[in-house]
Amino acid sequence: MALLLVLLIGLALGYGLARDWTPPRPGSKPRRSSLPRRQLVKPAQLQAWIEAAPVGWISLDAELRIHAINPRAEQLLKLPRAQLTRGRLLNEAVAGAELEAIARLAQAQARPQRVEWLIDSDALEAYALPGEDGWVALLLQSRRSLEAQLEQQERWVSDVAHELKTPLTALLLVGESLASQVEGRHALLVQRLQRELQRLQELVGDLLELSRLENLLPREEGRYDLVELRELVEAAWASLRPLADQRQISLALSGPSACQARGDGPRLHRALLNLLDNAVRYSPEAASVEVGLRSSGDWWLVDVRDHGVGLSDEDRSHMFERFYRGDPSRVRSQRVGSGLGLAIVQQIAVTHGGRIQGRNHPQGGAVMELVLPKGG
């Protein structure tokens, strides 16, 4: 929370300064604005706030040379007070390769990165925030209090999920019993009750899984192994085949025969299952879901395309948010999702050091692109 507070303050103040400053034209005379004069924060005040921040702050240029570092960062990294840090390369001033690794990853992917590591017996956490022209900001903090908060959050979500599972299971059994005893209009009502109870059961499971994923570190090697992406796609499709066959939807899989990635096999299976399920729900009858596997440097690109009406501007802005559901008119299936499927896919991608993004295909339909690191 402290990290977010510092970041939001910096962004808000920076935006205010940039918005209120207009460069003068050559030869023009200063003029008094008709708007009320705003009280702007001086750069010296911003610097003072950063220096006094309860989290560590380091700014790096494109060569990862330290241009600014506050006392809290020096304390967390256990740097000698007498040591001249500003102007030095990060890997020369700070022992260990963790900070340099996430800074370079943030530069390469233009996305925030997170890492956790130990200095002596102290657990630290750092965020690398990419900026313009290769600049990177590093935010650091101790994980002692964070670990307690995360454990409490996971325990709370787990407790709630398990408390809900028991009555939901009991209600499902009651629904099955009623379904065998009623007819006509009442049978339709019981079927609807069963569908809603199943949806709630899936929602509880998705919430529990999302909570677990959010507490995982990127590329947690203890859980990772070499996996074959083509086999994972085929296995995920096998789970969906009964639903796809009902609407005569087929799978068109293309790409190299060997596509090894390093990751958590069960969770990558879940990510692909969610993407394929999404594509089936938005595809018209007798269509195909196209999955393409492509190589790009050290990454595998997994494209999942449907032949529906495509993504709206609102979809592209919010589709990875929790509980977001797009325009119901786009859905060609009667099945209703929990609204957490793509949020789970995004979290799985992040924990693998990858990403997920959506776009419209030039020839129609939507494409979800999942980027994952290669194995080896």
164 contacts: CB under 8 Å, gap ≥ 6: 200, 204
* Total residues belonging to the chain: 376
Task: Please name the residues in contact with 122: beta carbons below 8 A apart, sequence gap of 6 or more.
Answer: 76, 142, 144
Phi, psi of 119 (to 5 degrees): -120, 115
10 Å Cβ neighbour count for 98? 16
Compute the distance between CA of residue 267 and CA of residue 210 in angstroms, rounded to an integer. Answer: 11
d(CA 351, CA 264) in angstroms, rounded, equals 9
Q: How many CB atoms lie within 10 A of CB 46?
A: 15
DSSP 8-state secondary structure symbol assigned to residue 54: S
Catalytic residue among 67, 162, 186, 361: 162
Residue 171 to residue 137: CA distance in whole angstroms:
51
Are the CB atoms for 369 and 301 separated by under 8 Å? yes
Tokens of 243: 């639903």
What gap in Å lies between CA 112 and CA 103, rounded to an integer?
9
Q: Is 318 an active-site residue?
A: no
Catalytic residues: 162
